[in-house]
Structure 1
């Protein structure tokens, strides 16, 4: 009995059931921007990721000497909730002031905190669920905090399941170290190019259409693997060309995530570079772990049925198909 068709149908059904609840970017960071307009008066911008209009119950808590001058103005954006208000602080968020985030410890969400003082100094930090608070350093000791974007890049790529599935397909498609290096490099160059162009406002594409196209790129790669077998790149032509073309799409996806995080207006190029460096570090780490896992499985392959090797391919294809369907429908909503 040929189990392959039944295996494929079953895995696609399970993937669709799981994909209905799962998202490719579950762990997007929130961001808190605090800009001192006059001494002791701050414009606050609090942006938190939202799924289907529902945002996690996280709220920034400022020191007791800070008072809101008006009720927050709340706006719902694609994939985020934005609140803006004006804050007055007697000690101007200095002298050991603590900003805490209530409810963050119950989530998986990090918060990027940026404070710009009226004297031109800046403070940037990232809070985590394990330590949901920051203590801004005195202005003389604060730094632009651009390296924090490298960590955000690593976290984004490792939390972006769709990008990782595409990279996994590339690893399975391409035989040999040199062809794989060339393919991954082409993917890196392509998404770095469109990430920069989109972030700098040179080229803009609709976010929902980009996300649907990214899902379609994963589905195409999975279909190629299912049709031609593992390491199909040996027979289906240079994979680096496909990686470059689809990498252009994935770069727009990275840019959409970076737009939600926000960039420091006084140092956009450096923050963009560090975010991209973080993405590449995370990508290389994932490739290394995946290659190690494949090497281990090859040593144990005599103990596994042959049809079992098709499971990852059908699972990737099923998840990608569900993502594409969900994202395509969202374009018209």
Structure 2
């Protein structure tokens, strides 16, 4: 009975992860091409062959110079247009996303100006509109990218599942600290190198390799459950560091989609990375707290014996699915 309960829990988690993986945000990109004139790119995701019913609405007085032109991709619809706002520009103007409040999708808004400034904002269904502000200061940039980092890691189930695998693999407290620290240090290094343009890797192979890293970690957890010994089990921090280098490229890909303000590049990169680490520590603390809570109940202790093998097989199954899905995307 207990095995069945844990299996159902893992399958439920896998289903929620897959659903969240498919809930891609909408994207609005506004580029100022001349005083009061902007090119607009509006991308809405397509789920199960249907476009999300979210409409873009500008403030009164904004004129459309070139009517929207649509193009269709495998996972989204893209709409391009040219608008004119007059000499005042978009500062202080409100842009509404009609229908967003009835969805679970966020909207990533990226605005670039002639002076080279760049702002990015994440709009949530609870507040389906945005007011374009003047060029933000350093404090605003830091707060924005700190929030982006936390949101990205907590919504990045591939990265969280790898960390979850490390928690299953390493039981010694000091070794766990070393392992998580090595993973953090590694993905921080490659995140910085990729964002600064020192190293570049294509996105699809990186995604496939990240999925493969989770699968290999699940195999090592299964081996540990059988009492076997391997290099990974003896030196988990070394393996976490190597795989962390790959995960850093995944973070860099997400950050590239958001866009970095060139004037505040070091600050934005640093605060995004800090946000990622805060989100990661929040996840680790939640998992360890749940485990400690269950250990306080005697009836729950035998259940934990079944939880580890069930979780490892669930982890490996989901990682294998993501790996083959990523590989098949090479030819899409």
TM-score calculated relative to the size of structure 1: 0.82
Relative distance call for 1:143 and 1:269 in structure 2 (3 A) is same
Corresponding residue of 1:321: 320
CA distance in 2, matches of 1:23, 1:34: 29
On the 8 A contact 1:226/1:313 being kept in 2, the answer is yes
| Residue pairs, 1:46-61, within 5 angstroms | 46-49=42-45, 56-61=52-57
Corresponding residue of 1:32: 28
Corresponding residue of 1:206: 202
Which of 255, 263, 271 aligns to 1:274? It is 271
Spell out, residue by residue over 1:235-266, the C-alpha distance to the aligned partner (whole angstroms, 9 max, x if none): 82111111011111111211222222233344
> The residue matched to 2:260 in structure 1 has which SS?
coil
CA distance in 2, matches of 1:185, 1:78: 38
Which shifted more, 171-180 or 151-160? 171-180
1:190 CA displacement: 1.2
2:330 is the counterpart of 1:331:
yes
Which of 163, 166, 169 aligns to 2:165? It is 169
More helix by share: 2
Which of 202, 219, 232 aligns to 2:215? It is 219
Spell out, residue by residue over 1:87-107, the C-alpha distance to the aligned partner (whole angstroms, 9 max, x if none): 101363457421111222122
1:286 CA displacement: 0.3
Relative distance call for 1:47 and 1:195 in structure 2 (3 A) is farther
Corresponding residue of 2:297: 300
CA distance in 2, matches of 1:34, 1:247: 34
On the 8 A contact 1:32/1:44 being kept in 2, the answer is yes
1:85 CA displacement: 2.3
Relative distance call for 1:193 and 1:98 in structure 2 (3 A) is same
1:25 CA displacement: 3.2
Spell out, residue by residue over 1:285-319, the C-alpha distance to the aligned partner (whole angstroms, 9 max, x if none): 00010110111122235443443442222211221
CA distance in 2, matches of 1:59, 1:289: 37
Q: Which runs of 5+ in 1 are unaligned?
A: none
On the 8 A contact 1:15/1:322 being kept in 2, the answer is no
1:74 CA displacement: 4.2
2:136 is the counterpart of 1:146:
no
On the 8 A contact 1:30/1:261 being kept in 2, the answer is no
Corresponding residue of 1:178: 174
TM-score calculated relative to the size of structure 2: 0.83
CA distance in 1, matches of 2:221, 2:145: 35
Q: Which runs of 5+ in 2 are unaligned?
A: none
Relative distance call for 1:188 and 1:159 in structure 2 (3 A) is same
Relative distance call for 1:202 and 1:16 in structure 2 (3 A) is same
1:126 CA displacement: 3.0
1:151 CA displacement: 1.0
Which shifted more, 98-107 or 36-45? 36-45
Relative distance call for 1:155 and 1:32 in structure 2 (3 A) is same
2:282 is the counterpart of 1:285:
yes
